[in-house]
Structures are given as C-alpha cells and as structure tokens.
C-alpha cells in the first residue's frame, strides 16, 4: 500500500515477504478490453491461443546469461506497454531462473513473488527462494521470477531522489493543526507530481492485471502449459488475478498471506490498522513479561498507552540519532511497525525503543530505513514508487480528500489508539495520483482453475487472517490452510506442519484438506 510496505529478510531479522501499508488497494484492473475478466471469472483468451499481434511476445526466445551467485541465469523479455494496443510500444521485463537440481523428474517452473507491490521478485529469487526454499521443491522445479512492470529492473517507476525521499518519510503523518496538515498534503502532492514527471509514460500501465498478463507471457516462453506459483502478501492478489484471467492455465498456486480483492481501499486500510494493532498487542503481551521491556511491566494495554505517549513526545521533539537525520514521529512509528512483520525482530525492537526513550534514536531509524529500503549512501530502491503506482491504479482512492480523512479518524483510532491516525492519513495518497484508477474491488472466483491453496496466519499484521479466509471462500477451488502464529506469512517460517502441507501440494499436486490448521 502506500506509505508502508514490503520487508524482505535481512540481518535485521525482518519478514521475508511483506505488503506495503497505507493507501493499499486490492481491486482488479481492466485497463484494456482484452484483459477484462468475463462474468463468472474466466478471462478473455484463457482457453485460446494468443492473437496474431501477441504471438511474437509469446514465442520470443530469451537470451539467458549467468548472473548473481552460482547457478542463476538472467534475461530480458518484452511485453506490450498496453495490451489493448499490442502492436504499439513495448516494455522490457527482467527475469531470472535457477534450474532444477534433481534428484527426481522436473515438474516445470515455479514462479515466485515476494509481495509489495514493488518488491523485486528477481532479488527475492536470488537472495532467498532459489537457495532457501525446501530442497525437495528446488530439486523438482526450475525456480523462476519476474520483476513486475514498474518494479526494480522492469521499467522502474521513479518519483523522488534520495533527499526528496528523506524529506517525504519524515513528514508528520498525524497532523495536529492546519500547518501540519498543509505540509502533509503538499508532500503527498509533490510525490505524485514527481512520479508523473519522471515516469509518466509507464504510469498508466503498471496495473496488477497487466503484470498477470506478463506472467502468462513468461509462462509460455518457459514452455510450461500451466503456471505454478508461490506468491506472498500482494503476490497473492497477483496470483489470484492470474487465475481469474487464465483459469485453464492455472497450475499449482500457493497464495500465502492473502489479500481480499473484494474490499475497498478504505476497508483494506482499516483492516490493516486492526491487523497491526493485533500484532502489537502480541508483542506487548510478550514484552511486559520481560525485564528489558521499555513499555512497562503491567499489561499490553498500558504498554500501548506508553507507546502512544512516546510518539507524542517525539512529535514535539525529534530524537537525535548521531546522524544528520533526526528520528521524527513518522520514522519512529515506521520503525515500530517494521518489527511487527516478524516476531524474531521483537528483541531488536525492545532495545531500539529503550534507546529512543533515552534520547538515542539510531535503532528505530535503522528499522525504518530497512523498511523503506534506504541504503547507507542515502539512495532508495523504487519500492515506494512502484507501490503507490500499482495501488493507485488498481482501485479508487481510500479517501477523496482530507475532509473525509478527518471524519474517519475516530473509527481508525478506535481500532488502534497508537497507529490509527497514522494509517488514516497515509491512506490519502491516491487522492492526488495523476492517473485514474482502472480497477475496482470485486470477488475473484477463477472458475475452472485447479485447486488453489490459500495460507493465512492468525496474527498477521499486514494481511489480516480474515482476508485469507475470505479469498479462500471466493475462489471456486480455494483451500484454506491456517497457521496459528505471529508474523507476516507462514511458508518457511518454522512450522513443519505448514511447510510439509505446501511442499506436498507443490510436488505431488495434493492440497491439504480445506480448513487444516497448523502451529
């Protein structure tokens, strides 16, 4: 979603996959007639050969070259800039693979996407999936990935330089008066204007539907009759969209940490507010039992009150970090939210909060910088830019103007006293977006698709568990697998029960019983 986003696995022990917060959307896009799903969920062309104009894309031969660490290969594919005009301009898409290692017969290609929108699938493949997925899966599948259009190496959306992003991420996102509010609105408008200035050509064409159609081109180029796929967080919406467009070409799909495509952007943001409050409550319940807890030793409710009071103090007086940048309330909030993605980051958060409350803000700033993918040299990845570009195209804005945000504040604050105002104001970003939304929220049924495994985590902050339940019920062939635990997503996070169920499905094609629960 907008001001928050995906976190990948790192030395900070943050989550391996993630979903950007604020202004998040989950609707399908219909930016071209040929991409619009028909009633009942079957996509146009799902059972037919590509048109004559699309055939050159489906039959292209990539030139693979060695890249990254040993065993990986990279290439570039072409796809139409606009699928409604396939004879027009094209975009270049970065792809990568690592061939099946054996033993056992090859099962085809397994596509992976870590979420976002805006997360680099190629980086995820090379840093984790291609080397860290269970060995039996890597033995039988070529592990493959494509950076979606607008992301990383695939026609990346650009908006602000490093200094501009530093200013943008520190802006007060809980305005207390008209001056604060004016500064926040100006920052949101400047961000959108920068995207239009630097990426105006590609901006109208980075919808999730277009990314799903690109995946179908990649599937054909690899020689696979059907798409097998593991998508996390936003990657679940991308996978579900593919199944809606191409149900007959849908193979073994795992959608881990699911989004609910039927919800409006406003409802998604409110649900996420609740999700992060649930995750914080779990952190606080654990924290107050420990001697080093900086939020007191009484109760989770008291810890939440202390955290809110800390945010209020930082709002009035930012904390020094030993660097040229201070820890503002906005950055402090981001640092805390970042640690909610993975319970393994809770010890680091306790230390960072302890230090920040004593006037040393470097630890929380480090967490926030990792969340925003800020490098030590002051540069940023294009994660935030792509995130806003995709979300603002996929569904109408959560709020059309600041007056509706003000009216919604009590509702958001009731859900989360510590984070509610932040989430509500952050959801305003798409109101100023230069390209109108082409998608609308709707149920995805994907009638005719093979069994689709939807995985939900009960205390997931970024993709609340009820979203997974909802998506599994919408999909005509959906199967729900539940992880009773903390953190964002479930696959590869330590549950043998979850991993065994997913591995069995990917390798043998047998999904677990609908409703299976794991710890």
Q: Which helix (H) or strand (E) holds 116?
A: strand 115-116
Q: Which residue has the tokens 């082409």?
A: 438
Catalytic-role residue among 260, 460, 486, 499: 460
* CA-based max dimension of the chain: 68
Residues in the chain: 519
With beta carbons less than 8 A apart as the criterion, state whether 46 and 227 touch: no
Among residues 111, 205, 442, 488, the one annotated as catalytic is: 488
Please give the C-alpha separations between residue 291 and each of 287, 336, 344, 364, 504, in angstroms, as whole numbers: 8, 19, 18, 20, 42
Whether 111 is catalytic: no
Annotated catalytic residue 205: no
3-state SS track over 158-198: CCCCHHHHHHHHHCCCCCCCHHHHHHHHHHHHHHHHHHHHH
Looking only at the bridges linking them, the beta strands covering 72-80 and 65-66 are: antiparallel
460 as an active site residue: the answer is yes
Instruction: Give the C-alpha separation, 336 to 237, whole Å.
Output: 26
Q: Which helix (H) or strand (E) holds 505?
A: helix 496-508
- CA–CA dist 343, 430 (Å, integer): 31
Q: Are the C-beta atoms of residues 457 and 465 closer than 8 Å to each other?
A: yes
Q: Which of 400, 501, 463, 516 is nearest to 235 (CA)?
A: 463
Active-site pick, 31, 109, 233, 495: 233
In what helix (H) or strand (E) does residue 481 lie, and over which residues does it extend? strand 478-486
Inter-residue contact 29 to 211 (CB < 8 Å): no
In order of 42, 161, 172, 175, the CA distances from 182 in angstroms are 46, 22, 10, 9
Q: Is the distance from CB of 21 to CB of 272 less than 8 angstroms?
A: yes
Chain centroid to CA 82: how far?
24
Residues labelled as active-site residues: 233, 460, 488
């Amino acid at each position: 979603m907008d001001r928050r986003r995906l976190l990948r696995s790192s030395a900070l022990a943050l989550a391996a996959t993630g979903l950007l917060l604020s202004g998040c959307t989950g609707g399908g896009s219909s930016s071209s007639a040929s991409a619009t799903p028909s009633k009942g969920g079957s996509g146009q062309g799902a059972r037919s050969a590509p048109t004559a104009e699309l055939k050159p894309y489906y039959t292209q031969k990539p030139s693979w070259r060695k890249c990254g660490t040993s065993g990986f290969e990279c290439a570039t594919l072409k796809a139409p800039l606009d699928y409604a005009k396939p004879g027009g301009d094209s975009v270049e898409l970065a792809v990568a693979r690592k061939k099946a290692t054996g033993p056992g017969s090859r099962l085809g290609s397994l596509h992976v996407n870590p979420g976002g929108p805006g997360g680099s699938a190629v980086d995820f493949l090379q840093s984790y999936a291609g080397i860290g997925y269970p060995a039996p899966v890597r033995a039988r599948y070529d592990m493959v990935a494509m950076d979606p259009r607008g992301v990383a190496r695939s026609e990346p959306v650009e908006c602000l330089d490093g200094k501009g992003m530093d200013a943008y991420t520190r802006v007060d996102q809980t305005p207390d008066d008209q001056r604060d509010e004016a500064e926040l609105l100006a920052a949101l408008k400047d961000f959108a204007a920068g995207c239009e200035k630097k990426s105006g050509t590609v901006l109208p064409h980075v919808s999730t539907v277009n990314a799903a159609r690109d995946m179908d081109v990649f599937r054909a180029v690899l020689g696979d009759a059907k798409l097998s796929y593991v998508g996390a967080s936003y990657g679940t919406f991308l996978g579900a969209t593919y199944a809606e467009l191409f149900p007959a070409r849908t193979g073994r799909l795992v959608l881990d940490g699911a989004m609910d495509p039927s919800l409006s952007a406003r409802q998604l943001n409110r649900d996420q507010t609740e999700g992060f409050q649930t995750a914080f409550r779990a952190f606080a319940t654990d924290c107050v039992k420990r001697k080093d807890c900086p939020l007191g030793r009484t109760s989770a409710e008291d810890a939440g009150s202390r955290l809110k009071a800390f945010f209020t103090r930082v709002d009035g007086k930012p904390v020094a970090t030993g660097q040229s940048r201070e820890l503002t309330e906005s950055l402090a909030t981001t640092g805390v939210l970042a640690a909610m993605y993975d319970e393994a980051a809770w010890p680091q958060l306790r230390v960072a909060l302890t230090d920040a409350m004593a006037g040393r803000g470097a630890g929380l700033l480090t967490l926030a910088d990792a969340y925003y993918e800020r490098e030590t040299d002051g540069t940023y990845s294009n994660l935030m830019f792509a995130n806003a570009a995709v979300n603002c195209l996929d569904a109408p804005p959560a709020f059309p103007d600041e007056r509706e945000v003000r009216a919604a504040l009590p509702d958001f604050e009731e859900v989360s006293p510590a984070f509610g105002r932040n989430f509500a104001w952050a959801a305003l970003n798409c109101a100023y977006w230069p390209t109108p939304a082409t998608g609308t929220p709707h149920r995805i049924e994907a009638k005719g698709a093979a069994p689709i495994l939807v995985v939900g985590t009960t205390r997931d902050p970024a993709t609340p568990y009820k979203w997974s339940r909802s998506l599994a019920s919408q999909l005509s062939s959906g199967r729900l697998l539940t992880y009773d635990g903390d953190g964002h997503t479930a696959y590869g996070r330590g549950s043998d029960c979850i991993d065994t169920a997913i591995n069995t499905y990917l390798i043998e094609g047998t999904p677990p019983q609908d409703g299976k629960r794991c710890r």
